[in-house]
Amino acid sequence: MRLQFVLLTVVALGSPSIHGAEKNNKMPPDLDAALLSASKSILYSLEPITEPNPPGPKLQGFKILGKMKLDQSQTALAVNAFKMAISDWDGVSMACFDPRQALRITKDGQTYDLLVCYACHNLYVYRGNKLFASFGAAGSPQKLNGILTAAKIPLSATH
């Protein structure tokens, strides 16, 4: 019975939908300004699919596999990858959210966490611990994964 519920939930949450009317994919000016001039940035590798309340450190509820402070050029690459994910969105998104990469930026004492799930075509932004914005996302995690693997940060085993 439990397995049937899990399978029905996976099927229901994994079905594609179009959110063009719900997501205008316009970045709020304060988020755009923070991305352009962040004083501090950290790139995370996340494991989205784990047991409930996994042990160890978490970012917005998702298990952290590793993290690294970014220098100015790495920050520019990561910010560009997140902006490209938003600008390349084709209008398709899934009802799931399993982020494997995240970027934390800090500007003027304000912290933003950008979590992206390329498989689900969704990007969520938290300001502090509250959901601030959501966007459709498209593209590939290749650039972000390249930064993480160069620093020997493990990646999610799930695709």
- Indicate whether 39 pLDDT > 80: yes
What DSSP string runs through 112-141? EEEEEETTTTEEEEEETTEEEEEEE--S-S
Which residue's structure tokens are 């004492």? 109
A 10 A CB-CB count for 115 gives: 27
Selecting from 3.30.1490, 3.40.50, 2.40.50, 3.30.110, what CATH number does the domain 25-150 have? 3.30.1490
Confidence of residue 17 (pLDDT cuts 50, 70, 90): very low
Confidence of residue 2 (pLDDT cuts 50, 70, 90): very low
- Indicate whether 101 pLDDT > 80: yes
Q: What is the average pLDDT score of the chain? A: 85
The 8-class DSSP code of residue 97 comes to -
Average pLDDT of the residues in 84-89: 93
Of 143, 76, 150, the C-alpha closest to 116 is: 143
What residues does each domain of the chain span?
Answer: 25-150
The radius of gyration computed from the CA coordinates of the chain, to the nearest angstrom, equals: 16
pTM of the model: 0.83
Residue 99 confidence (pLDDT): 97
- HSE of 75 in the Cβ direction (CA atoms, 13 Å)? 16
